């Protein structure tokens, strides 16, 4: 089973700043089958990035994903007020599918 580790646990930033979130896998993620999700309180998660770097439909271009193998990054170039949320990475390249523990981005 692939274990995903996300860092930092909490990221405190101001609107307009750049956010860099890390996701590290215990073994190589097949074919970069790595996704990122945003979750706000009381809501279901929303797909942001799939295939490590492809933006899902309707996702603003301030969100970008990169990485391969075991190290992946989600970057939010300039934080908007609506971006403060919890972000999860997920690998779906091998069974079982696994999620990371999440990174909370909160307002500084």
Partner 1 sequence: QVTLRESGPALVKPTQTLTLTCTFSGFSLSTSGMCVSWIRQPPGKALEWLALIDWDDDKYYSTSLKTRLTISKDTSKNQVVLTMTNMDPVDTATYYCARSWRTPATGGLDYWGQGTLVTVSS
- Binding stretches for partner 1 (CB under 8 A): 1, 33, 35, 37, 39, 44-47, 49-51, 54, 56-57, 88, 90, 92, 95-102
Where b means 16+ CB within 10 Å and e means fewer, 30-46 reads eebebbbbbeeeeeebe
Q: For residues 4 and 76, which CB has a smaller minimum distance to partner 1 in the complex? A: 4
Q: For residues 9 and 81, which CB has a smaller minimum distance to partner 1 in the complex? A: 9
Contact at 8 Å (CB) between 18 and 45? no
Q: How far is the CB of 15 from partner 1 (least distance, A)?
A: 25
Q: How far is the CB of 102 from partner 1 (least distance, A)?
A: 5
Q: What tokens appear for 71 in the block?
A: 């190290």
Q: For residues 17 and 99, which CB has a smaller minimum distance to partner 1 in the complex? A: 99
Angle, CA of 80, 43 and 72, to the nearest 5°: 60
Q: How far is the CB of 96 from partner 1 (least distance, A)?
A: 5
Q: How far is the CB of 62 from partner 1 (least distance, A)?
A: 19
Distance CA 21, CA 23 (A): 7
Q: For residues 14 and 95, which CB has a smaller minimum distance to partner 1 in the complex? A: 95
The residues that bridge with 88 in the sheet, in sequence order, are 37
């Amino acid at each position: 089973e692939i274990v995903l580790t996300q860092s930092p646990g909490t990221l405190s930033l101001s609107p307009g700043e750049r956010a860099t979130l890390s996701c590290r896998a215990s073994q190589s993620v097949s074919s970069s089958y790595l996704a990122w999700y945003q979750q706000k309180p009381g809501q279901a998660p929303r797909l942001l990035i799939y295939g490590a770097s492809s933006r899902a439909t309707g996702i603003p271009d301030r969100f970008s994903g990169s990485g391969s193998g075991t190290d992946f990054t989600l970057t939010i170039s300039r934080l908007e007020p609506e971006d403060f949320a919890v972000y999860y990475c997920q690998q779906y390249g091998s069974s079982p599918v696994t999620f990371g523990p999440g990174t909370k981005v909160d307002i500084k």
